[in-house]
Structure 1
Amino acid sequence: MPLFEIETDAHIIITWAENEDDAREVVDDAYPEDELMRLTKRPRDSWVISKGALGLTDRTLDPCMTARECLSKSAGDKVNAIRLYRMETGCDLEQARIAIESNMVMGW
């Protein structure tokens, strides 16, 4: 069964479906209010997320551990965690946002 990458105005969904119509149905069922922006059939049956695309390639720090500590200190408050992460690492706002949000998605 092919793997599809579906981008809506609010989500990126990775799902297996028999065809594009079935993949569209997944979005309609799960997120009926979302507007479909892109639907791509992946060339292989696996999904890879590039750490470089997330800005997590600095080998001198463990951004996951630092981000998780900042999330813990801020009791899950994203804005406060981003501020703490910036103070801890010295990175810019966008890099801090990416690190904190990607760790929130992983269930810190």
Structure 2
Amino acid sequence: MPLYEIETNAHIIITWADNEDAAKLVVDDAYPGDDVLRMTKRPRDSWVISKGALGLSTPAIDPCGVARDCLAKSAGDKVHAIRLYRQETGSDLDTARKVIESNMVMGW
């Protein structure tokens, strides 16, 4: 039995069904007020959600350790260290600036 991914205006439903009509009936039964926006027959019979895509697999980051490494790599150049920190952590500019500046004060 194929696996279907069905996106409605309020939900994403993963269900097994014999065909698209049967999959639509599952939605109509469970969420009668929802409109089907997209229905995709999955190529395999299982569903996988990447923890990385959800941001759940990133190990805890020690911001001070990363900041000190970036300051060392940049030879103390604050602007370059901020750039490196953003690349390493994916942080926004303001967060990276605060972390780098606070570690400069502590005498990296």
Report the TM-score when normalising by structure 1: 0.54
* Count of matched residue pairs: 63
Cα deviation for residue 14 of structure 1 reads 0.6
Distance 2:5 2:12 in 1: 7
Cα deviation for residue 15 of structure 1 reads 0.5
Letter in 2 for 1:32: P
The match for 1:10 is: 10
Q: Please say if 1:33 is aligned against 2:33.
A: yes
8 A Cα contact 2:2 2:18, kept in partner = yes
The match for 1:22 is: 22
Structure 1, gaps ≥5 residues long:
62-90, 93-108
The match for 2:52 is: 52
Fraction of identical pairs, as percent: 73
Distance 1:55 1:10 in 2: 22
The one-character-per-residue Cα deviations of 1:21-60 (angstroms, maximum 9, x if unpaired) are 0000000111010011110000000000011221113112
* Higher radius of gyration, 1 or 2: 2
Distance 2:53 2:7 in 1: 16
RMSD: 1.7
8 A Cα contact 2:5 2:40, kept in partner = yes
8 A Cα contact 2:6 2:39, kept in partner = yes
Distance 2:28 2:20 in 1: 12
Structure 2, gaps ≥5 residues long:
62-90, 93-108
Distance 2:6 2:35 in 1: 11
The match for 2:68 is: none
Letter in 1 for 2:16: W
3-state SS in 1 of match to 2:48: coil
Distance 1:37 1:51 in 2: 25
